[in-house]
Structure 1
Amino acid sequence: MRSNGTITTPERPYRPWWKAEQVQQALERGTVVAGELRVNAKQPGEAFVRSVHHKRDIFIQREQLRNRALDGDLVAVLVKTRPRRNSNSAAVPVAVQDSCSEPSTSDGSSLGASAELERDKALGTLPLGQPRTHLEPAEGPEPEHLCGRVVAVLERHRPRYIFGRVERHDSLLCLSPDDRRLPRFQIELVGFCARARERLYRSVGHLAVATFTGRWHTHDTFPRCALLRLWDESDDLAAGMSLIRYKFSVPPATASCWIPLSKAVAWDASAAGTAWDACSKSHNIRDWRDAVRAFTIDPETSRDLDDALSVRWDPDANGYRVGIHIADVSAYVQTGTLLDEEAARRGTSFYFMDHAVPMLPPALSEDLCSLLPGRDRRTVSVEILLTTDGTVQGEPWIGRGLIRSCAKLSYQQVQRILRDRDPSQVSDPLIADVHLLYRLAMQRRQQRRARGALLQFQRQLSLERVRAIRSFANLKKTGEPDGAHWLVEEFMLLANEQIARFLQRHCPREALLRRHPPFDKTLVERITQWATKRGLAFTASDTQALQTSLDALADTAPIAMIVLRNKLTKAMATAEYICAGAFDDAAAYRHTALDLDVYTHFTSPIRRYADIIVHRQVLSVLDAPSEARSGSQKPVAQQVEAVSAIAAHCNQRKKDADAAESAAAWLHLAQELQVEPLECDAIIGGFPNSCRCLDVYVPVLDLEVVLDFTRDLGASVCLQTRDPVTGLEELELEWPVHILRPYGLDEARTSFIVGLGKSSGTHPAASLVSEAWTIRVRLRELDTCRVLVSGETRPYVHARVQLILDRCSPADAQRYVLRVASVPCLLTESDHDLLD
């Protein structure tokens, strides 16, 4: 190929980048635009560039046209345009491919993918949980299609680490990344001795981690990387977990890692005890040990018990005083100590399938700070007065306390109590407390629902949910919250809200808060239009209208509600920690999913460093003189810049923990599905990309995959209609099917073996004969179907979804199962942490 005197050959597959002067001049003329390159994770051969100068994204069709640009790079793109093509034609016609392969610096005709494909694919490339930034387009007429090629990389977005498997490519030793948005990397062998090189070539298929060297010349087929670590492949699970720990900076899980801090912990605990005893004599410390029945509710295997509940009737106030007692971790983890530095570095605890990696040493997380039954423990408590209908009355009491938990209850125990199947070891007064707290919690939940909080969104795959999936028992109910979880959740949310309001009053600039940005309005409008076209009563003007719509659809159209809920998660940003003083407008503090003006994290200081900071801020206000609380002095010593830095670090560590826990859960699940695939219900979510694909959603696994009819299913669309009443699209697909059946046996008792495509004329079993048929199947939006989900751990952790179609053969009305295999779908994306 030749363009502007530049030739690309197999020996030099890429063009040289334009010089900085040429790029600047082209940018000023408008023949070249700058933007961020985003690669489609599901179709890595496709990429897009978003520019403020165009309403539509610029389609970069092939890797060669990316010209050595990586996902996330800021690039200069030479744009070509072409008039609109028929929507039923291929995504990028041959004429477009040829034109886009040889662009010139002069203006040309319009070319590119269909507008719908551009937008759908562009949205699909953005990672879940990332807010979509919508740039304002330039004014004036806009062609329907845009495509182009990269002429220069203006700024590299280097991946910190590259994770994948070692493979051979001709004579090269390469790393195939698990992130499909990245290309294959050539491993640099300079500096390796002959023995080391020989070992590397024997390690093909092994997991490895490398770093991008920055070298990728025009004559290089692949970018260069330097190998950092190689894992043994004797155990896929162990190697996968090791890679996850490396990838997400998971600290060591063994107790030996705390040995260097053991003396510091002992000294810090001793100093903390002395300081707390002195503080208890000079401040109003409430002794709750004999005043209330405090108890904990946690997963059965939990050791870090950082919250307890109590309830008592106050006849003078004519209401219930609910106590939320949180472990006083800040008494032991004091500012400036080695223990504090290590806790800050870790940022959070990590919870995996078979073990946990605590933020604090076990001596604290499982003993001194844990609210164990029968042990005296220090707390920071919030006591809230609730009326009989669950309404908050007056201001809560907030301060230090001393409790002695009377029981450690599990969620399963509490659920049995709520179902009147209480175990004999739980006392009657405690059973009464559980029922009372549950009644108040449900009233609080109804009030939140009426106010506009979102209650219907699924959380990411949890530890309990994976264990239930591994046993393949009660799979459809797995992950759905029960009354016991709701009881705890409601009072933790209430305590967090009250603490946030307390900090907003007394330290309005330094307060560490947690906010949830609003919906992406553009995506919500598209979802609303999608629902309206299908006759669904759906409104998303605010969270209250949205929740009301979902509640109504749960009764009238439950399948549609599930699909809408899945679509809405993609329109939601990720909750994050902030420092109040970093924003001029208090509206920026709002937590959209909870529909609260202000919110924070206070209830889990054993496992979250952000909660420790909030505890310190609360106690700093409580310990300050009365004139400081009124505003004449500053009760909190931390500055806005320091709190903002802590918030940013905690956000990153929470993101790492969520990703690591999700990846580990899918790793375990993929291994289970590899042994025993799972057959379950799925929902046909629609036919995107101009009815060229099938969108399948598997609710039980919260897994979505888009299947191309031709490429993945081997089918062709022979009829496309839309129901005039419901507005739902219907497609009739046609499969060429080859049936193999035993010769000479009783067909009435014979199950067929089904194969797709044309017969090869031979089969391993000589006693089998074949017949060729054509199968037609009608699919409709929002219908359910059956799928078979199997798991694989190589070359990366993923699932393979097979569409199961039950039909009768035209010959003798025998019933058989047609399994249509799809492409693998990545299991690296997790849900948002919406509710907390």
Structure 2
Amino acid sequence: MKTFDFNDFEQEVDKIQIPKKKKKICRDFQNGECTFRNCRFTHPSPIPFLQDAYVTNEEAKEIVKKSKVLNGIVDHASTDNPGIGSKESNEKKDRSRDRSKDGSSQESQDGPKEELRQEVSTPRKKERKSNDTPKKNRNNSDTPRKNETPRKREFYEPYLTKEKVQEGLLNRSLLEGVLRISKKNRYDAYVKIDGSDNDIFIHGLKNQNRALNDDVVIVRLLEGLELEIEKEKVLKKQLENQKKSQDRQQKVDIYKIDYDEEVMDETRTFGSVVAIVSSELYSQTHVGVMYLNKPQKDPVVDEDSKFVWFKPNDIRIPFILIPKQIVPSEFLKDPNSFSDKLVTCKIKHWSPTNQYPAGEYTGILGQIGELPTESEALLVSAGVTWELFSDTVLDSLSVSEIKKEEYEKRENLTKYRIFSIDPPTARDLDDALSCKELPDGNYEIGVHIADVSYFVDKNSPIDQEAYHRATSVYLTQKVIPMLPRVLCEELCSLNAGVDRLAFSVFWIFDPEGNIIGEPRFNRTIINSCAKLSYQHAQCVLENQDMNTVSKVEIIGHEQKDVEKDILQLYKFSKILRQRRYDNGALTLNSIKLWFDLDDVGNPTDCGIYHLKDANRLIEEFMLLANMAVAQKISSYYPESSLLRRHPPPLEKALEQVKDQLEKEGIPLDITSSQSLNESLNAISDPTMQFICRLMTIKGMKRANYFCTGTSDIAQFSHYALSVPLYTHFTSPIRRYCDLIVHRLLDSCLKELECPYDTSTIDRIATQCNLRKNASKDAQDASQHLYLCVLLSKLKGPIIEEAIICQISSRSFDVVVPRYGIEQRVYVEDSMDLGQVIGCESQPEQRKLSIYWKKQGENADNISNSVKQVVKMFDRLSVLITVDMSRSPPVLKLFAQPP
């Protein structure tokens, strides 16, 4: 059956010119058959844009019919009276056409108009004027007057006014949330509404309505016929995807099977964006490649186009059209020379009448695949600011040294034995510990955090810059600081041998590790006696001399006393850790790689970073401090505190992991975080336990910051830590949230009014969440980039051992421990290489049989092949390949013969 392209259809509509002579009404339009391509007739109402790229004529009729009902157009084909689509009407039209061809009869001048009035009725604000009205007084709404510019058809709905939005939010007809666009399919997006367990599904570009990922949007729920039409589109797409999946399955099946069409039901809540509250639409810079014509399988060459096409690396961003007059002349002379270059672009305008936004070319980054270019590209894509701090920001430092009066205002701990434990390369030391034995045999444990708020005044230029950055970004090769280095590494950093300002939290522990009384908070002055690394502390815990790592300078105290403190702190940390687990805490650690770099910054080696007891020692006391501060500020400022929560995981995702592991004989209790952690700890094999933890992490949600005054108290808790209240207090040098919490705590201690109102804290929480997630994405992308560069430089094929963590009908998921890779391996990829004949899925036995061609033979014969059976937790070899010609680089795994 003949099909038509609705992208071309959209262009044809825009090309329609207002005719000088009045044309006849298009009857095919009324039957849903007109595509507007070379149509010689006028149309009483435009066909709304259809998102399906290719639609048959029969499908078009059905969609247009529903569109007419939605827009209030009466379709008489569905009534008892003869009209459009009826047998009588069609016969009448056929006879009329025959008479016209013979020349035996001519239509009267009023015939077509009268026929139109009988067949189609459209809602109008005013009565249509009678045909008796003089021509010069008529106002035909279907045809613009002479010299009148035709109004372009709107592809998107105009945004609601501020008044309409406020009214809708009050009566709950509109909802507010953050838009999250799928990384796999930009046509699917979701909006998370506070207080709701279910996200709102935003299907298609029209419903996203020019909103981008992480925009705060206003959403209207779809209902009635509008909802049914949207569901029908989704179900149709799901059936198409199901058919493609079945075709791929049949390609690899050794024994061919006819698959039945699965009956699907769509129960999600559908919505449409009607306004944007906040967005980085016009400030965000995008990375991608520029093309003269739209990049697609069969590009259409349009030499008269005034625009070039920008394709972003991030599939969540749409194509952007850039005017030719502002792109480099080198590109227009030789567009192919830019096919392997990364350029940057900003969106400047996005009208409701334009399917794609208009943008501005902002520069070229460099060659795809080069380490400096790709490193800069991932920062741009994540919206990370890495420029040097301006003079205005630097000049806004309130003080550059500790004033003498601070020694009188603060608790002086400069004689205390305080030391820091950090990574060996750390230069921004924001936390330190102390362990003082009291005369009664108890211990005073202190956590001392750099007092950044003393140097950064509220709402100063440096504070505004810190708010904008919100977090330091830790890449493989460098750190991009939130604050100027004069603060990070000098004034605030708790360096050894110098007086530093701190915010301290104290507890009294008895010898058994029980906390006596409430924690104490105070602003202090400290003088750290030593800068220790995790390796130094680990040596002490393993009864080795810490100087075996490197020479440690201890100022004003004895090494043996520092070692004694470390051992006592470790004893208490183990008690705290066990107590947390007994109360339901869950260990969640994703794979993190370490890299060795040469003198010019290229990776030479890597491995998985493993936490040791020294890391856990510090972690326990930082958690203890964060929980104590959260309790303090939230009780004092219940409506305006900045806390951090971790929502419970997706129940459906955990259920799937549970069912999968129980089939392998591994019981998993997902009733609570405590039962889940106990189930995982019960797995005796360390490697198997590691794989199972990775499987459960995939069903977890990210933790996020929130304002206590805008959330229900039932949603305050932290699932993984299993505590009711938690915040971030211990890293103000690298996190803006911690700086705000310091100010809140200071006001609490001084018994002042809250320095921030609820709306301000809510805005800060949103900004911290956005930048925290972007920072995490940048760090993951940096790790992936350096791993790809390292692997691409290795000689010969890279074959490594992998462990299977999931089995499907034509693929299996693996973890490569050597490089921390988690990825899916497809059997069809090995078929494309000519190595595999096919496979046989055995879901009941949870196995997949792969049939390999014997070496040196090309016959696709099962009897002449090598059968490999793979199942959960099996170890096998995979081939790792890297494609550095794409941005970002693509890493792919291939199965290897047994």
**Contact 1:685 / 1:697 at 8 angstroms: preserved in 2?**
yes
Which moves more between the two structures, 798-807 or 436-445?
A: 798-807
Q: Which amino acid aligns with 2:828?
A: T
- The corresponding residue for 1:342 is 465
**Contact 1:717 / 1:731 at 8 angstroms: preserved in 2?**
no
Per-residue deviation at 1:419? 1.9
Per-residue deviation at 1:225? 5.6
- The corresponding residue for 2:161 is none
> Could you list the per-position Cα deviations for residues 98-123 of structure 1 after superposition, in whole angstroms to 9, with x for gaps in the alignment?
xxxxxxxxxxxxx996469x99xxxx
Do structure 1's residue 580 and structure 2's residue 626 form an aligned pair? no
Q: Distance in 2 between matches of 1:802 and 1:387?
A: 54
Do structure 1's residue 497 and structure 2's residue 627 form an aligned pair? yes
Q: Distance in 2 between matches of 1:154 and 1:716?
A: 52
Q: CA distance change for structure 1 residues 642 and 529 in 2, over 3 Å: closer, same or farther?
A: same
Do structure 1's residue 207 and structure 2's residue 332 form an aligned pair? no
> Could you list the per-position Cα deviations for residues 475-530 of structure 1 after superposition, in whole angstroms to 9, with x for gaps in the alignment?
3xx22211111111111111111111111222222211111111112222232222
Do structure 1's residue 24 and structure 2's residue 70 form an aligned pair? yes
Per-residue deviation at 1:636? 1.9
> Could you list the per-position Cα deviations for residues 57-104 of structure 1 after superposition, in whole angstroms to 9, with x for gaps in the alignment?
9999xx99999999989996372779x99999863579xxxxxxxxxx
2:561 to 417, 423, 429: 429
Identity %: 26
Q: CA distance change for structure 1 residues 734 and 465 in 2, over 3 Å: closer, same or farther?
A: same
Per-residue deviation at 1:606? 0.8
Structure index of larger Rg? 2
Per-residue deviation at 1:559? 5.1
> Could you list the per-position Cα deviations for residues 704-726 of structure 1 after superposition, in whole angstroms to 9, with x for gaps in the alignment?
3334433564445554436xxxx
Q: Which amino acid aligns with 2:848?
A: L
- The corresponding residue for 2:364 is 230
Q: Classify the secondary structure of the residue corresponding to 1:540.
A: coil
- The corresponding residue for 1:515 is 645
**Contact 2:471 / 2:775 at 8 angstroms: preserved in 1?**
yes
- The corresponding residue for 2:800 is 680
Q: Distance in 2 between matches of 1:437 and 1:460?
A: 27
- The corresponding residue for 1:657 is 775
**Contact 1:514 / 1:578 at 8 angstroms: preserved in 2?**
yes
Q: Which amino acid aligns with 1:454?
A: L
Do structure 1's residue 414 and structure 2's residue 537 form an aligned pair? yes
Q: Distance in 1 between matches of 2:637 and 2:462?
A: 26
Q: List aligned pairs for 1:107-146, cutoff 5 A.
A: 114=262, 135=268
Q: Which amino acid aligns with 1:533?
A: K
Per-residue deviation at 1:447? 1.4
**Contact 1:739 / 1:773 at 8 angstroms: preserved in 2?**
no
**Contact 1:460 / 1:662 at 8 angstroms: preserved in 2?**
no
Q: List aligned pairs for 1:771-810, cutoff 5 A.
A: 774-807=865-898
Q: Classify the secondary structure of the residue corresponding to 1:519.
A: coil
Q: List aligned pairs for 1:190-339, cutoff 5 A.
A: 190-192=325-327, 194=329, 197-198=332-333, 200-211=335-346, 214=350, 226-233=360-367, 236-254=370-388, 257-265=389-397, 268-269=398-399, 273-274=402-403, 277-278=404-405, 281=408, 283=409, 285-290=410-415, 292-316=416-440, 318-339=441-462
Q: Classify the secondary structure of the residue corresponding to 1:202.
A: helix
Per-residue deviation at 1:50? 12
Q: CA distance change for structure 1 residues 596 and 70 in 2, over 3 Å: closer, same or farther?
A: closer
- The corresponding residue for 1:106 is none
Per-residue deviation at 1:185? 5.9
Q: Which amino acid aligns with 2:804?
A: I
Q: Distance in 2 between matches of 1:589 and 1:56?
A: 19
- The corresponding residue for 2:33 is 5
Q: Classify the secondary structure of the residue corresponding to 1:567.
A: helix
Q: Which amino acid aligns with 2:374?
A: G
Q: Distance in 2 between matches of 1:310 and 1:503?
A: 24
**Contact 2:641 / 2:709 at 8 angstroms: preserved in 1?**
yes
Per-residue deviation at 1:532? 2.7
Q: Distance in 1 between matches of 2:35 and 2:706?
A: 52
Q: Classify the secondary structure of the residue corresponding to 1:231.
A: strand
Q: Distance in 2 between matches of 1:14 and 1:66?
A: 20
Per-residue deviation at 1:260? 3.5
- The corresponding residue for 1:623 is 750
2:846 to 726, 729, 733: 729
Q: CA distance change for structure 1 residues 41 and 373 in 2, over 3 Å: closer, same or farther?
A: closer
Which moves more between the two structures, 300-309 or 423-432?
A: 423-432
Q: Distance in 2 between matches of 1:306 and 1:680?
A: 40
Q: Classify the secondary structure of the residue corresponding to 1:163.
A: strand
2:571 to 439, 442, 462: 439
- The corresponding residue for 1:597 is 724
Q: Classify the secondary structure of the residue corresponding to 2:502.
A: strand
**Contact 1:162 / 1:177 at 8 angstroms: preserved in 2?**
yes
Per-residue deviation at 1:693? 2.6
**Contact 1:305 / 1:372 at 8 angstroms: preserved in 2?**
yes
Q: Distance in 2 between matches of 1:661 and 1:215?
A: 34
Per-residue deviation at 1:184? 6.2
Q: Classify the secondary structure of the residue corresponding to 2:507.
A: strand
Q: Which amino acid aligns with 2:618?
A: V
Q: Which amino acid aligns with 2:696?
A: L
Q: Which amino acid aligns with 2:614?
A: A
> Could you list the per-position Cα deviations for residues 797-826 of structure 1 after superposition, in whole angstroms to 9, with x for gaps in the alignment?
24433335354xxxxxxxxxxxxxxxxxxx
Do structure 1's residue 607 and structure 2's residue 734 form an aligned pair? yes
**Contact 1:163 / 1:210 at 8 angstroms: preserved in 2?**
yes
* TM-score normalised by L of structure 2: 0.67
Q: Distance in 2 between matches of 1:548 and 1:794?
A: 45
- The corresponding residue for 1:124 is none
Q: Distance in 2 between matches of 1:306 and 1:593?
A: 24
Q: Distance in 1 between matches of 2:453 and 2:572?
A: 30
Which moves more between the two structures, 672-681 or 402-411?
A: 672-681
> Could you list the per-position Cα deviations for residues 107-162 of structure 1 after superposition, in whole angstroms to 9, with x for gaps in the alignment?
xxxx996469x99xxxxxxxxxxxxxx8469xxxxxxxxxxxx9x99899997654
Q: List aligned pairs for 1:526-565, cutoff 5 A.
A: 526-553=656-683, 555=684, 558=686, 560-565=688-693
Per-residue deviation at 1:397? 1.5
Q: Distance in 2 between matches of 1:331 and 1:193?
A: 48
Do structure 1's residue 77 and structure 2's residue 230 form an aligned pair? yes
Per-residue deviation at 1:791? 3.1
- The corresponding residue for 1:704 is 822
2:491 to 353, 357, 368: 368
> Could you list the per-position Cα deviations for residues 694-744 of structure 1 after superposition, in whole angstroms to 9, with x for gaps in the alignment?
22333454433334433564445554436xxxx75112112345528xxxx
Q: Distance in 2 between matches of 1:570 and 1:710?
A: 25
Q: CA distance change for structure 1 residues 535 and 216 in 2, over 3 Å: closer, same or farther?
A: farther
Structure 1: runs of 5+ lacking an equivalent? 95-110, 120-133, 138-149, 625-633, 741-755, 760-771, 808-836
Q: Classify the secondary structure of the residue corresponding to 1:787.
A: strand
Q: Distance in 2 between matches of 1:231 and 1:548?
A: 49
Q: Which amino acid aligns with 1:178?
A: N
* TM-score normalised by L of structure 1: 0.72
Which moves more between the two structures, 357-366 or 779-788?
A: 779-788
Q: CA distance change for structure 1 residues 472 and 273 in 2, over 3 Å: closer, same or farther?
A: closer
Q: Distance in 1 between matches of 2:331 and 2:386?
A: 28
Q: Distance in 2 between matches of 1:355 and 1:758?
A: 52
Per-residue deviation at 1:535? 2.6
Q: CA distance change for structure 1 residues 799 and 400 in 2, over 3 Å: closer, same or farther?
A: same
Q: Which amino acid aligns with 1:189?
A: K
**Contact 2:830 / 2:894 at 8 angstroms: preserved in 1?**
no
Per-residue deviation at 1:403? 0.9
Q: Classify the secondary structure of the residue corresponding to 2:483.
A: coil
Structure 2: runs of 5+ lacking an equivalent? 5-31, 40-48, 79-156, 158-174, 193-197, 220-225, 249-258, 303-307, 553-558
2:324 to 169, 185, 189: 189
Per-residue deviation at 1:189? 2.3
